Structures are given as structure tokens and as C-alpha cells.
Amino acid sequence: MKLDPTSLRYMSADEFRVLTAIEVGSRNHDIVPETLIAELSRLRGGGINKYISDLIKRKLIASESSSKYVGYKLVYSGYDHLALKTLSRRGSVVSVGNQIGVGKESDIFVIAGEDEQQAVLKLHRLGRQSFRNVKQKRDYFRPNQSPSWMYMSRLSAMKEFAFMKVLHEHGFPVPTPIDQNRHCVVMELIDAFPLRQIDHIAEPGRLYSELMDLIVRLAKHGLIHGDFNEFNILVRENGSPVLIDFPQMVSTSHLNAEFYFNRDVDCIRTFFKRRFAYESVLYPKFALNGDKEFDLDVKAAASGFSRKDQANLDKFMREQELQRDDEDPSDEEIVYSDSENDSDQNDDQDEANESDSDGDYIIEQDRLGNSIRRKREV
């Protein structure tokens, strides 16, 4: 989904009041009636019709009809504008650059803050695939209300920021969290490559051990990543790993904690055997690593991401799990490139071109001798 923040400069305060009123009204209405918009925005007279018309033209809201009335609903581009407006006011985002990653449930852009330092803006977009593939469950929400994927995206962003913050505070190799609002997370831009793009490592055993130690260290702090694979691990030029993407992180007290722990371990073992022809008989097991040193799961919950929020998000994630067996397991792939055409390529195309001899890729080496496969610029 394209992010176009240019209209932020030209939107009036009253237009944002109308957009915010539709967001607030959506908490209790699938389609927000004009009378409620006028009441919440405190705008009277015919002016509100013009504001609504302008927001529709900018594709920030959509008009829909029910059996009783014509109303309006917020779309993701409108949600983007509300979040960016808040982040801009805080100074966290003052400019938006190229898109560097796209996934099934997120979009990633390079941005700059008021300190002129580049950072990453991740927009959670849960439901982008789910409208087509996942059966909608009304028990997530209030009676007779359909699921709000924007609400789920907000929970996902809240969870990612909360866990990233506690992990960073305790010295884990994760990006520095900067800010979060609605479905958006701002974090440090890491100078590294996704493990998925690396075809050769000088010492695969060393990296394998570091990753297994990281899984164990997380468990000893009360956490399991839940999606620990080559798509969510970045490797710096010095060979050290950086962990990203935390919406599926669970506590070691979770009912299925052992399953998620073992799945994380198996993902790394399988990838190293397939990609680097490296296999080790040494790997951690959940039953042998049950002693917790810290309760970061409790600390993350205390930071604002409540148990109720976790329960709602868990229900959604379980729905996602039902479709994963028949889909490409990739999430977003972060490709650092100045070419916007590169960032538009999807993961399925990347997977189809896995071979080193593919003409769409070039092979480069970093200072450590690691081979880096990168998309050839068009």
C-alpha cells in the first residue's frame, strides 16, 4: 500500500477534526453517520459536507450505505494520516523517504526525525491478506460488530513497541525503539542485511551458536520470539545478528510455549542446513531451559500492552496460523536500496529466484568475506 503524506501539508485543522471524529465513531459503529461526525467534531452547518467530500477525494475515508443510513468509514490511508500527524507533532517523523520493505502485514519506510537522523517507520496492516483468506470471527469484539483490522494493527504495533523497548533496555540486539502511535512504530535504522539474503557465511557455526544462545537467553528472560527465522534476523557487517519483528512474541508461561520455542529452534536448524549445509547436533530444548532469570513478559505488560490487548491479538494470530501451512512463510524482507522498483518486488518472486545463477541478482562480498545476494537494479 502506497504511503503518500504530501496531503498532510494542505489539510486544515477542521479536516483533521472530521477525520478524528470518524475514527472515534468507528469504535461503536461500522459505518459512522454524518450526524455523529458533526457531534464529535463539533462542526456545524454545511461546512462538514465539504470536509467529508474532500476527505473522500483524497481517499482517506469511504462512503458506505447500510439499510438505515449512509455513513462513512476510515480506510488505512486515513489512519496513516492520523498517525503521521501525531508523530510529526512529536518530532519523530518530519519527512518520509523510500519504501524499503513490504510484507503480508506491514509496510516499511525510511524516514527522518527532527534531529535529521534516518530511522525506520513500520506500518502494521493486519487484515491485508485476512480479508481474503481468514474467516472473520465476531467474538473478538462487541456483539454485532465486525472485526476492525485497524484496531488489530494498533494492538500489533503496541505490542511490538512494548517488547522492543524492554528488550532494548535489557541489552538484547534489537533496533532502538523511538516512538509509536496507532499502527505505526518508529525505530532505529539498522545497517545490516536480512539473513535471508545472505548466501555464504565465513563461520556459519559461530552465527548458529549466537542465534541459539539468543533463543535461550530470551527464554531465560521469560520470552519466546514466536517467529524466529531468516526473515526476522538481520546480520551486520561484523557478523553479529539483530532481531526484529515482535508481534508474535509470547511468554514462556504461554499454554503453547514449548511448541513456539521448538519451532523457533527448528526454523534456524532447517535454514542453516539448507542454505549453508551446516548441521549441528547441539540445539536447545525447552524442557532444559525453563529457569527464568527475569520476567520481561510481565514488564512488557506493565508498559501499557495489557492482558486484554494480548488476548485479542492472540485470537487474531491464531486465525493467521490456520492459513500458514499453505502459504509462503515469509514476512517482510527489508531491502536497502535507492531504487523504488526494487522495493516493489514481492517475497514470492524472491523465493522463485533462489538460485545464485539467477540473472536478477548480483553477488557481492562484505569485508568479512560473506556473500551478499542483492537485487539487480532495473
Catalytic site positions = 227
How far apart, in whole angstroms, are the C-alpha atoms of residue 108 and residue 312?
A: 24
CA–CA distance from 75 to each of 103, 128, 190 (Å)? 19, 12, 30
> Cβ(76)–Cβ(35) under 8 Å?
no
Q: Residue 58 corresponds to which cell in the numbers above?
A: 483524497
> Cβ(215)–Cβ(226) under 8 Å?
no
CA–CA distance from 276 to each of 273, 288, 371 (Å)? 6, 27, 11
How far apart, in whole angstroms, are the C-alpha atoms of residue 228 and residue 272?
A: 13
How far apart, in whole angstroms, are the C-alpha atoms of residue 264 and residue 249?
A: 11
CB atoms within 10 A of CB 98: 15
CB atoms within 10 A of CB 205: 13
Amino acid in the structure at residue 195 = L
* Residue of 97, 367, 377 lying closest to 236 (CA atoms): 367
